[in-house]
Amino acid sequence: MHTIKFRYLAIGLGLFATSIPAFAQAPMTPAISTQPNNTPPTPVPATDPQAKALFTQTLDRYRALKSLSTVYERSGRKQLIEFYAPQSLKVSGLDSLGAVTSQTFYTDTEVISLRKPNDTYEWTTATRPPAADGKDARSRVATPATTGGPIFSSILAGIDPFADGGRYKATSYTLGTPTTVDGVAVTPVAITTEKSATQPFETTLTFVIGKQDGLIHSIETGIKLPNGREGKTAENFTAVKADAGLTEASFNFTAPEGATKVEQFSRAQVRAKVGELPLALPTGTKDIDGKDIVFEQFKGKVTLVDFWATWCGPCIAELPNVKANYDKYKGQGFDVLGISLDQTIPPLTKYIKDKEMPWRQVYDGYWDGPIATSFNVRAIPATILIGKDGKIAAVGARGDKLEPAIQAALAAQ
């Protein structure tokens, strides 16, 4: 067992997404979605002094925090963020059921990360450089390019992201209509920012601030690109608890029983082995037409279980190959079952119709969907080829390896 007590922690809650040429991998936070819009630039509203004052009060509230715990969610990805002033912080990845899947601690000297890429935990340590001269401990919470979101990380560190020299330059502050979110009375503050050479688009950030706790419950980002396309994202903060329940002991790291310290994490492997029966689909799985679906329905056929998404470039590039093999071998007993990791159903159903994909599809609901989680799918496209006997014939067959795998499975007795 390895236990470390963290008295100094520096974490940046920034944005990043991971990708490699052959696969689309599970990102911490996906890119902003955009849609065409040919409307002219939106006039910048005048600043409301009350709006600016409320945002300043919110900054002061965060600067005075002794501790904070909140669940951060964006595009279906969840993290439990726990902070203890001035610099202790722990970020835990959560699955769709709220179970912890990973943890990261950032200290003034090192980063310690715990993950479960396959069936056992692994953990790593990495040295961090010292804080820059003249910077206090809390400011290091805003170190960029780690997790959570650059705006929130700055605010948690007590830094105004709109101050001179900050990430954005505000051009106006306006109050929105007070409302209620999840039973919490809130007031929105919309802040427009100035375009620049490094940010050539209009941006409006709306902070939804609790009336009672003075804390942020969501951050909505709207952009308008030079080509007229518009996009938006929403970062939500739930289960917000300030100055309650956390102590220094909450930030001790203890490696789980059986965990292994490694130089780098193992690559996640799809949970499927050739010659074995596949894991059963979760109880109640239905296709997008609402029909129950189980693997037993495909027995006697060779079936390609294809994990994919309409937003996944490598998946779309592989689609002609899948369609060609489907058309060529469907008469010989070959079938396809698509497992979509799209974030919503409408893009999926439209794409299936437009591309004339006749095989059955299951909407799993992004990376933490029950099927992707069960099969440990962390990069797509991912494929499992099931033989006529119901056992796995191949894992990862795609490209020029797909057709030979299908032929071999069809020929097997």
Kindly indicate the confidence band of residue 186, based on its pLDDT and cuts at 50, 70 and 90: very high
Judge if 358 and 224 occupy the same domain: no
Comparing 304 with 244, which gets the higher pLDDT? 304
pLDDT number for residue 95: 80
Please report, for residues 304, 319, 329, 358, the alpha-carbon distance to residue 322 in angstroms, rounded to integers and kept in the order given: 9, 5, 11, 12
Judge if 173 and 101 occupy the same domain: yes
- pLDDT, averaged across the chain: 85
Judge if 167 and 45 occupy the same domain: yes
Listed in sequence order, the residues at least 6 apart from 352 whose beta carbon sits closer than 8 Å to its beta carbon are 288, 361
State the pTM of this model.
Answer: 0.75
Domain membership of residue 289 (yes or no) is no
Q: State which of 240, 261, 282 marks the end of a domain.
A: 261
Judge if 179 and 306 occupy the same domain: no
Judge if 203 and 303 occupy the same domain: no
Q: What digits encode the pLDDT tens for the residues 304-352?
A: 999 999 999 999 999 999 999 999 999 999 999 999 999 889 999 999 9
Domain membership of residue 89 (yes or no) is yes
> Which of 20-34, 94-108, 352-366 has the least mean pLDDT?
20-34
Kindly indicate the confidence band of residue 70, based on its pLDDT and cuts at 50, 70 and 90: very high
72 vs 218: CA distance, rounded Å:
9
Structural domain of residue 50, as residue ranges?
A: 3-261
Judge if 129 and 190 occupy the same domain: yes
% of the chain surpassing 90 pLDDT: 59
Judge if 171 and 247 occupy the same domain: yes
Strand partners, 92: 80, 103
Domain membership of residue 266 (yes or no) is no
Judge if 188 and 96 occupy the same domain: yes
> Which of 164-168, 189-193, 335-339 has the least mean pLDDT?
164-168
Angle between helix 402-411 and 313-329 (nearest 10): 30
- Report the domain count for the chain: 2
% of the chain surpassing 70 pLDDT: 84
Domain membership of residue 35 (yes or no) is yes
Domain membership of residue 279 (yes or no) is no
| Whether pLDDT at 40 is above 70 | no
Judge if 212 and 122 occupy the same domain: yes
| CATH code for position 403 | 3.40.30.10
